[in-house]
Structures are given as C-alpha cells and as structure tokens.
Amino acid sequence: MQELTFLSAQEMARRVRMRQVSAVELLDAHLQQVARNNVRLNALVTLDETRARARAREADAALSRGEEWGPLHGVPLTIKDAFETTGLRTTSGFERLVDYVPRRDATVVARLKSAGAVVMGKTNLPRLALDTQTHNTVFGRTNNPWDVERTPGGSSGGGAVAVAAGMSPLEVGSDIGGSIRIPSHYCGVFGLKPTDGRIPLSGHIPGMPGSPRGVRHQGVAGPLARTVDDLRLALRLLSGPDGQDTEMPPVPFQEVPRRDLRSYRFVWTDDFGGMPVSAETRAALAGLARTLEGAGCVVERRSPGIDFEQSWNAWGRLLGAEVGSEIPVQARLMTALHFRSMRGDSAINRGIVRGLWGRMVDYTQALTVRDQMMATVEGFLEGWDAWLCPVTVGSAFTHRPSGDWVEVDARRVPYMEGTSGFCNLFNLTGHPVVVLPLPPASGRTLPLGVQVVGRRWKDEALLSVAEALAEVAGPFRRPPNV
C-alpha cells in the first residue's frame, strides 16, 4: 500500500476509476504514510480524517452508480493552512486564528473539491506565510525529509514535505517571494508559480478574514506535485476568474503540445547581481546546459542586464506597503524591527522597511520600477523558450533563527537574499516559473532544483518546456526513510 502513495495524482485517479483501488483504500494508504512520518516531519498540522473518510466512501459509492466527479475523483490531498476550508480549522500559523473555522472554501479548495479531490488535511507554514523557513508558535517546526536537521523552506514548506514524503500527491501553496519554489527546490519536488493573475487567491490568509484586501501584487497560488503533468492538471483546474478577485483577466487554459527537445532554445545564468551561489549549484546548472547542448538544443549563457539591487528593493517596498496597509501601527513597527534586525545589509530588507512606512509616492515609484522590470524580463525572453537560473544560493540549510546568515561555501549572505534573492524578481514581474529537480550528482545528498522561467501568460507553453526538461533531468526521487 505504501507504493500507492508515491504515484502521480492522475495515476491514483485512474486506478480509482478503473476499480483497481478504492478511494477508501487510497485514503487509508495516505493516512498510514502520515502516521509513519508526520511526527518526525511535522508537515500536516490539522488532519480531517473523519470527513475525509466520509468523502472517500461517497466517491466509491458514486462510481458504483456510474458517476465520476472529475479528474481527481477520490484522490486525497492536502492544502496549505493559509487557504480557508469550510468547517476545517485554518490558522495561517497565527496565534489569533488558532480556533478559526471558516464558513467557506477558498476558490482553489472549492475547485479541487469540484474535481473530485478528498481534502484530508492542512499543511504547516510560517506565521502568516511571511518567512522562507517553516515554523510558528502554533504548530512548531517542519523538517526536511532529506535531513530533519535542515529546513524544508517556506512558506509552503509543509506542503512540499507532504508531497516529497508521500503523504499527499498534490498540494496547493502560495508564493509572494519564492514560497512555492524554495520548498520545491529544498525538498526535491516540482512546483509552479503561475503568471500573476492566473489562479485566484480568494480565501487566502493574509489578509485577515473580513478585512480589506491590501496585498494586490506579487502573490500567487500554485501547485506542488511529483510530476509536471500534475502541475498542468492543477493549472487547468484552478485557473480563471472566480467573481471575487475582480482583477483577474479571463485567460482560458490552452493545451500546448510538447515539441521535440532539439527545437527548444534556452538562455541561462547563475549570476544575479554578483550574488554568490554554491559550487554544486553552479556545476549542476552548467551540467544541465551541457546536456541540453548535447541533445541539440540552442543554449546560451547570458546576463539579463537587470539592476538586481533595484529589483530587490522594489519588491520589498511593494510587499511592505501592501502588507503594512492591512496591519495596525504596532504590528507594523514589530515587523519593521524584525527585518531591521536581520544579519547583513540587504536591499530586500531596506525595501520592506521603507514600504511599511512609505508614502503613496514611494508606492507608485515601486510600481513604476515593476513596470520597467516586467518589460526588461519580457524583452530578455524574446527568442527563447525558457530562462534557466538558480532557485536559491544553495541546497537546504540547517534550521536557524529567521534573519541569520545563509552560508554559501565559505561565504555568508543576508538571509532574505540567500533564500528569496533569485525568486522575488519573478514575483515583481509576474512571470511564470516551474521548479524541477536536477539530476543527482556524486557526493551530493540533498536535492537541487532549477527555475525554468517563461513569458507572461504562456504558462501552458512553459509547462511543455518543463516536461521536456524533466525527461533530461530525471523524475522525482523519493527521500530516504519515508
């Protein structure tokens, strides 16, 4: 039964539809996997076993009547604890919400249920999803399945661990500065940060339930999975306007067939403004480039010509201004002190603090920089199918206080740049990104991923590129001892 839990979500659904396994048996296999691993990893923080069992029984009964609910019929999965779930506690890792039970589902949750999914639990995250590690005072720390002394990243860290450890085949996370991509990279799974505006964030915390929506840029919802094909299915199920997030354009999902690998053109870089990356990251990315060249692809190493200090600062100013608009003065002061106290002089931290206390002119200036960066990245991608670059400065690091240094071989870099510095540019510009695991190398025991960046609104084409790349880089690898 344990091997069932490492199938793709679509293969699980196929076996349920073909009566090769029942939805109840599939749920039992996942609950057993949770029982084996969750005490050690602390990925799932709220388990909804009673209602999940009832839903699985309903799924089996529906099939016996010849009814199919959708492409995820009977598949158990998890949801990041930032998304509201009807009748199921949703805390966003925040002490004031420890007993909050929503009366509605977030849009992404409702759409997964409509596709036949069985929601069996919620996964851990940092407090209000505002960190690149996963720990909070409500549920404690989540551990990386490859090495429990290391972080799984954040803020969708619990979800990445659940997927990597076979406790869930599919997770919905959120990402405002790398929160899907960093955990995918650290835990060795696939993740999609879609174009800003493809998937509704309605029902996501923050903002606080019932409060005005302050965060209107840079944040997205997106899936984590063990195959690119499951990411594609999730995008198809989750994307499109919901009547609540009124700024979402009606961009229809379109299937884009995969081309021959040799027809793709790739540009790559491991240099973002001189920020260091580990030697193993540099070697892995260069090795992928050589493999693609050997397969007949056009591959070129090129600098994007971006002022990364400016982009990091603008990202921070927008985040600080929009998050700050939702919280009282005292909370804003504490948030500013937290970012000021971090080790090192970081353009990201300076931007966040400035945004928290900024005037409207500062906010509009940051939006203007966003416009400029968006055009620059779009121009850089002209003529290329994808841009390959690191996810972070290295593999998963050991647990530490938020804001401590991040080591890169013999060097140290500020915390936010060491974790989010390669990611947040694409939140600022809204470009879609797939993270896929790179092939293992001699002497490397921890996963490494690569960001595969595509043009805005071309998410489906990007997924086709990523699927071709995954055949070169290899499939998901199961962590030891799970």
**Residues classed as catalytic:** 80, 155, 179
Label residue 116 left, alpha or beta by phi (over 0 means left) and psi (-120 to 50 means alpha): left
Closest CA to 419 of 180, 182, 148: 182
CA dist 55 and 72 (Å) reads: 13
**Interacting residues of 425 by C-beta distance below 8 A, sequence separation 6+:** 272, 306, 308, 311, 312, 315, 373, 377
Which two three-digit tokens encode residue 251? 């961009």
CA dist 358 and 349 (Å) reads: 14
How many CB atoms within 10 Å of residue 39?
Answer: 8
Q: Looking at beta carbons, which pairs linking 243-251 to residues 24 or more positions away fall under 8 Å?
A: 244/107, 244/200, 244/202, 245/107, 245/200, 245/201, 245/202, 247/197, 247/216, 248/197, 248/198, 248/200, 249/197, 251/197, 251/198, 251/457
Residue type, 261: L
CA dist 155 and 240 (Å) reads: 24
Beta strand 170-175 pairing with 140-141: unpaired
CA dist 309 and 235 (Å) reads: 32
CA dist 280 and 395 (Å) reads: 9
Cα 105 to Cα 119, 174, 436: the distances in Å are 11, 15, 29
Q: Looking at beta carbons, which pairs linking 68-71 to residues 24 or more positions away fall under 8 Å?
A: 68/17, 68/116, 69/114, 69/115, 69/116, 70/114, 70/115, 70/116, 70/237, 71/10, 71/13, 71/115, 71/116, 71/233, 71/237
**Interacting residues of 277 by C-beta distance below 8 A, sequence separation 6+:** 270, 390, 393, 394, 408
